[in-house]
Structure 1
Amino acid sequence: MTATLGEHAAGVVAPDGINGFYEPVPEDNVPRLRRAAGTAGIDVAAEMTHAEHVAAVRAGEIGSMHSWELVTAVDGPGTRLTVFLAGCPLRCLYCHNPDTLKMKDGEPVAVDTLLARVRRYLPVFRATGGGLTVSGGEPLMQPAFLGRLLRGAKEMGVHTTIDTSGLLGTHASDALLDDVDLVLLDIKSGLPGTYRRATGRDLAPTLDFSRRLAERGNAMWIRFVLVPGLTDAPENVAAVADHVATLPTVQRVEVLPFHQMGRDKWDRLGMAYELDGTPAPDTALVERVREQFRERGLTVY
């Protein structure tokens, strides 16, 4: 998360049992709990035969969803309905929601059902300048469903955002990207070796996708998760900043400090958590990294 859920800093279970996670708010960098509603209030898709289900998925009529939430000041401008789709090809060491990694673990939801939820919040979006954000997991694992969801939202006049690692950028058609007002692009490292260590995958597809977005004129907010001992090396940050500075449609860079509040999910899933002893970055380190981006003339939060 994703975002990014999605690729934010870390996750917890809130005291009331609602899944939630903390994310730094740009102005003061104070982590705040965000609460996800799971699939509460959104009906899962009606039962159908396996063949009917496969056909509906291929047509983009049904997608696999982890959860949704209504949130302000993150995931794009204004108040956002953020939908977290299930499934992700990355295996980030600091993933705060490993329960979103497998598409089969999500709930089947009809695109029309989600669009009905979007319509419900139209007055909120108009009052706050908000809209729909699709995160994950990785939303581009479900391009047909994502495309239908974005198209339906744009037909209502809703501002649209996707939160993506960019690894599957080739899955995004030009028609799909025409329906995207803002891309939250997670660039997790600037050095290929560090990227592979952090995610298990290659960096090049993300950089290629960022160039394509810039050439098309798609607005971007860049997200960089700062993990001491993993992504904090000055040369790694410099590589990210140097690349981002070449992208004319980048509006801001968000430096997201790592923290440990999501590791319990790894334990519950029986997954080895390699960053158990990794501390949160201190204020001096966060400021040093932000300054590296500012030195390239970038707006940083």
Structure 2
Amino acid sequence: MLQRQMHERKVPTRDGELIGYVHSTESFGAVDGPGIRFVVFMQGCNMRCQFCHNPDTWRKNVGTEMTTDEILRMALPYRQFWGEKGGITLSGGEIMLQTEFALELFTKCKKLGINTCLDTCGQPFTRRQPWFDNFNKLMKVTDILLVDIKHINSDEHRKLTGFRNENILDMCQFLSDINKPVWIRHVLIPERTDFDNYLIQLGDYIKTLHNVEKVEVLPYHTMGVHKYREMGIKYKLDGIEPPTPERVKNAEKLLHVADYRGYLE
């Protein structure tokens, strides 16, 4: 199914220029990679995470059509605020549904000396061609990735997101093999991911990777619930409250957050 979808998909263009479907942008992102960053939230995502606070990014092939040059013209006026570590982050939705666009943008960024960051859940990852070759090219112009591991157990991952996680963990292994810097993120959700046995498994798994510079525990929140009501979508975590500070600290301990300090260098 995935291979057929890749062959059927046509990269959109406008007047001969590659375009991407953009949901929104943020001029001063402080939590989307190193330093201060210009963040581009791309439209479209295959997963249906129960805790997603942006269901308005799910639909594909909709949103604001923009070329890579148009994004650069928006971002460059803020370059003076990025400092040595800041730059441009491509987020989502799921950015890896638009890898060709990301490759073109980041190639231009590297020619300009701009730090590049991908924020991804990894779900589209495959070693099949031609997708894998394009991903390899993208990695050559990507400085760092933010990878959200939704759940370490594949069956629970499917319940939580609609998809299993084997290919996502395969991507994490590949990134470790090529020593591409990664920040791992994990959303802590009572009754879904906040179980010591799963947190211990995830912590042990991350320890097998050699490229992790930072591990973050992101407490589940309900700030996006109103979007589900507005869009007429049933919210599947109704009644579940954010984790307590004690449970967040417990997760940070089990994931060995304090051991990953490469991001401070």
Q: What TM-score results when the alignment is normalised by the length of structure 1? A: 0.78
Tell which deviates more after alignment, 85-94 or 161-170: 161-170
Q: Which runs of 5+ in 1 are unaligned?
A: 1-52
The one-letter amino acid of 1:225's match is V
1:156 pairs, out of 112, 116, 123, with 112
The one-letter amino acid of 1:132's match is I
Q: Any idea what SS the aligned residue of 1:133 has?
A: strand
Q: Partner residue of 1:103?
A: 60
2:233 pairs, out of 271, 279, 286, with 271
CA drift of 1:112 comes to 1.1
Structure 1 residues 60 and 185 mapped into 2: Cα distance closer, same or farther (>3 Å)?
Answer: farther
Q: Partner residue of 2:87?
A: 131
The one-letter amino acid of 2:77's match is R
Contact 1:245–1:298 under 8 Å retained in 2: no
User: Which of structures 1 and 2 has the larger relative contact order (alpha carbons within 8 angstroms, sep 6+)?
Assistant: 1
The one-letter amino acid of 2:198's match is N
Measured on the aligned residues, the alpha-carbon RMSD in Å equals 2.1
Q: Partner residue of 2:43?
A: 86
| % identical aligned pairs | 35
2:21 pairs, out of 56, 60, 64, with 64
CA drift of 1:124 comes to 2.0
Aligned residues: 247
CA drift of 1:118 comes to 2.8
Separation in 2, partners of 1:123, 1:250: 28
Q: Are positions 1:292 and 2:254 aligned together?
A: yes
Separation in 2, partners of 1:122, 1:73: 14
Query: For 1:203-238, what per-residue CA distance to the aligned partner results, in whole angstroms no more than 9, with x for missing partners?
Result: 101100001111111100000000000011111112
Structure 1 residues 198 and 97 mapped into 2: Cα distance closer, same or farther (>3 Å)?
Answer: same
Q: Any idea what SS the aligned residue of 2:28 has?
A: strand
Q: Aligned ranges for residues 109-258 of structure 1 at < 5 Å?
A: 109-125=66-82, 127=83, 129-170=85-126, 171=131, 172-258=134-220
Separation in 2, partners of 1:251, 1:218: 10
Q: Any idea what SS the aligned residue of 2:255 has?
A: helix
Contact 2:27–2:75 under 8 Å retained in 1: no
Contact 1:90–1:200 under 8 Å retained in 2: yes
CA drift of 1:299 comes to 4.8
- Which structure has the highest helix share of the two? 2
Q: Which runs of 5+ in 2 are unaligned?
A: 1-9
